[in-house]
Structure 1
């Protein structure tokens, strides 16, 4: 190129200039025809060689404030660096880019970056930088590594390069604008396609209308639901789609246009005049400065139909529930009626002269009857549990007595299987708590019954511990109950079935042991209702331990004499405890030591014989009936034959197993029924060792006079004329006897109509009215009495075996004054009679 440039001071060579300009024009034309930025820069680098003889070319663009090399040409081959552009960090290489002037760089080079190393790799004598601008704004530069060049050629190349760079900037700007426009058009078409697809494929109806309510467009689903064509809908008023002109539509449109979104239900009318319910969501949007409303609606016909079916199903279920409740009430009455007689007569029997063992037996019958009634109630309550309607009662109760009552229920069955029953209450366990004693006893009875059922030998034990409960009242405690047995155990893989309704561990267990599978499910729900939980630990062939917890509130409790710290009436006396069950003998010895006794324990009859025959003197020996090798009775017989009779012997025997006909009993000072209760043991030892007794429950004597639950003088102090309306002869007899024990004489009728007739014949102060009777039941009889202006108006006390929720309210609404549940309890009867006054 330098050969075509005239020397300094000579006239310009017009031919050379024309050729050069032609080359520049051709180069610009070539890259100006490119249609994409991707092809643009390679064309720029390829065509610039017509005017600038460069060894290497670099295209550099600004990315924010950083200059990056996006492409390189070496030996005519262009390499794009879009994925990994190279920073141009050398200040000298970036100097002057904001100007529009050509920049010539002279040696020496500072090769301190990757870009500089590439550009100046073979140490060219010159480097040219052409800034590229778009609308006066620098966007980058073209870098050239050039060989030797004269000053004249540098001037010519600089001029041509400036023109070239100017066109590069302009064409680049046009290409970018064109590509941006095409990209925007593509996005717009894509959004339009998506909107059209959504508009048409939407499963709900969609209507667009203006602020006057005129419909502009509706989708396919809206036209299908309304029965119009889309063309017919366009131009209609939204109010025309309702059965009658709706004043609400105008108000809704105003609300929506104001910027709100509203949800409502309405009725649409189809083209054929039929209607359907719809759920609607309306909102406003703007397009080209105008406001519009979009209405999205869904046909609720199927939903309304399902709701109607659900209502019908609910009504049918409620009808079935009422029928079930009536059935349960009738069954409750039929079961409770004979149970009323059993428990009532047992209560009367307890008020007669009984020896200690007889009293124990009768009390077991009584407590077992009470437990049976509890089970009946639990069956009735199971439906409440499933329905989430079971409510708990909070009342103070003696925790130890609750455990002992539960043990009494299973004592007979445990004795038949020769199992030991034991229990232990930890030192932190309060004597009395506030809670639902009935539900707690139910859980214990269920778990104890299972333990006895699945244990062939050994023992079933109850342990109770307590810790302060987290949060709540300061007196709140968490009670931890453990019911442990030495039974068959439960496989780990089947434990998850234990607490499910109507489920047993396996089918063979069901066949062998029976059971409904409800017990543990009820226990689980009850423990959860009482703020606790239930779980089990078990080892096959070793036994199982069922744990459950509950929250309760400790309350004040008057300690019985045996449980007072100052009670130590036996100091200086010695007791021997003989039992092969370690839990039993250690528990008894612990009690004895608390009362001041020096206690020794042995685990066999032979060891006891050796001690009792030796030099140590014992004031009393408690010997278990069932022991391997030598039983308690055999031990007593052997000691008697050897003349070792100085130590009083007391036999510990499971209920029903100390036969009064056994001649060996004459060698004993008395018997104690297992599981041994501290109060019984204390009273027995007190009578034997000191000649005194602490309370009315003696070991071998009858109840003292004046200690009856019945107040024989109540009838004199509080006279009442009483009528008993009861159709069951046994319950009639029971009521008459109970009242006579209180000093009352009562008349008896067998139906509601007879009760009405009796009141017409003479006045009564009180009517004990059975609810279920033939001819006229107690509820109807009460209504007749209350509606009569001629009959005297006595206090009417309902007697019922029903145990369902709402019974009390029903009877009181009928005009009854009070409510007593069967079986009758004397204390409840006395409390009710005390509220009565003569008419």
Structure 2
């Protein structure tokens, strides 16, 4: 709590306020409220102060406070105006509730209870000194938005504030004299009885969630905390309780539970869809692969003069077309299966010692014939002796895929593809460079995603399923490496990937 002048200068504050902001009470007094207000809330604080000066009413507002060390935290501001003996506005007393974490409400209410006990005890011990301080307390009791009620040891209301009466649908006159059980929902009657009995024995008001009942029969949840009241002889004669309306918290919790339930349902549905997709891919791959074996077998058999005799050029061309497309379809099926295995993390790897230098040599030799139709210059620049422990066939699969992609995109007659492997920081760095059309920067981010193709037009020149590079990335990552590309439109492309030795 803090008390300020109409200009926003602190004239009083409690120890809790000073401590929460990291000051001593002596340091805090005399400072401006803006010294304690976080930058994000300075305008709100100015507006709140200006509005109060006009209306003399302090509207609840969420204000971020700033500690001495610069840290900030959210609070809920409420309070009441102070007047001199002539009725002139001279300041206001504010209660600032720390809203840092809702779930810390119990802890905060314990602090509140402690301060309330101290205040009430002081009031009972200082009956002969009831002056302006008593009046201020009474105003705060009446005007605070927190629901406050005072009861006897038998649970009869002797006092309550306007907020309490209004929240339960009564006038203050109607509420006073009623039993607390008249205001307690059936579901919380036993909890209220136990709380009252425990208080009578220990004189401590334990925090408890209690469902309240309004005059119209509707109910709402609240969090109860409070302090005992003593007479001049130290005997407990009652207690004042603060009840925090928990409706919004319960509604939020309910919405979160409903949202979590929907998310779980969606997750289960996605799992079913994913399983169906995997089953469908497996089925389609199998159904496509099964007829390919006899088709390719017959293509080879029909070339023998013993089957249909010597084929004329037109027949041979047709047979070649059948076989070529059957091979493409087989490769597509293989890509689909590989992509599925990588998605499911079921691809198997055979880690053995690999002579990288030898592998690069034979790879270059085996692919030279592929370069001949376009007269592509094909260079293997690997010079040092390199070995590593990895899956040779998968490494060859990645290199083949990248190289064959490059064949599609380099120009005929002047095209050049260069491959190399070298030692780099304890890893083997593989490189495939070409002088093809290059890859625009804005398209490189999706290059390694499934089914992505640089040219998706109906008249695109280059074939492919869009799975090749995503499979390369999946294999390289599974082998513990990284893959990337460096290129720009019209400058060729350089593909790199690393494998730990």
TM-score, length-scaled by structure 1: 0.31
Choose between structure 1 and 2: higher helix proportion: 2
* Higher Rg of the two aligned structures: 1
